[in-house]
Amino acid sequence: MCRHIAFVGEESALEDVLVRPVSGLYRQAWAPRRQRHGTVNADGFGVGWYVPGDPVPARYRRAGPIWADPNFADLARVVRTRALLAAVRDATEAGADGEAAAAPFASGRRLFSHNGALRDWPDCAAELAASLPARVLLGLEARCDSAFVWALLAHRLDRGDEAGPAMADTVTELAAAAPGSRLNLLLTDGETITATAWGDTLWYLHTPGRFAVVASEPYDDDPRWREVPDRTLVAADRADVLLTPLKEPQ
């Protein structure tokens, strides 16, 4: 269910991170090497990136497969950034939300993606939805499980929770309400990356002082890639990568 990637580091063209690598996200849309659920990610894609002097990241999203969009190659060639989050989508279920259901979702400086699926969606969301203000529910960008997961996480962030604890609490809450869900979450604010491995693959590549990449799977065969153990929270920036075990819900 989907592939995603976040990058923070030295200024790079989008294509250097997403297209040129031998198994970059672009190729993972039709030929992922480590995807456990689904085989083709053709139900939409998106990329969000940051530019100096602008507090709000830009986004480019489409409802169709990334390889069918002739404009993306041009965009990826000329746009340069020091941070991005991108995803290709394999929808949990068919829907009419189009590109609104494609990650990254956004709020302020934050970009977010969900690789996985909520089990028994949308029935499992009924109790959790009661904890959210009406304005949050009415403001859902799409009627899909990933948009709902983002609403839960963003609500915690907006009330002042730090990214790591907010993500850990969100995953634990969802896992308790919908056991068996796959909850690989990915978040960036343009400087840091926060992610969870919960039910699907997650890897990271880090060169201290230069860059950090957290992704569903390696985009090349560099031996420095490291796999993140399942049930783990990742906090990464250009300086360091920290892995913290996540507790199973009681």
Among all residues, which ones are annotated catalytic?
2
- Give the length of the chain: 250
> Rounded to an integer, what is the distance from CA 136 to the centroid of its chain?
20
Which residue is it, tokens 């941070």?
A: 83
3-state secondary structure labels for all residues of 175-192:
HHHCCCCEEEEEEECCCC
Structure tokens at 242: 């920290």
CA–CA separation, 66 and 128 (whole Å): 33
Backbone angles phi, psi at 175, to 5 degrees: -65, -35
Alpha helices in the chain (DSSP H): 14-18, 25-28, 70-78, 125-129, 134-138, 145-158, 163-177
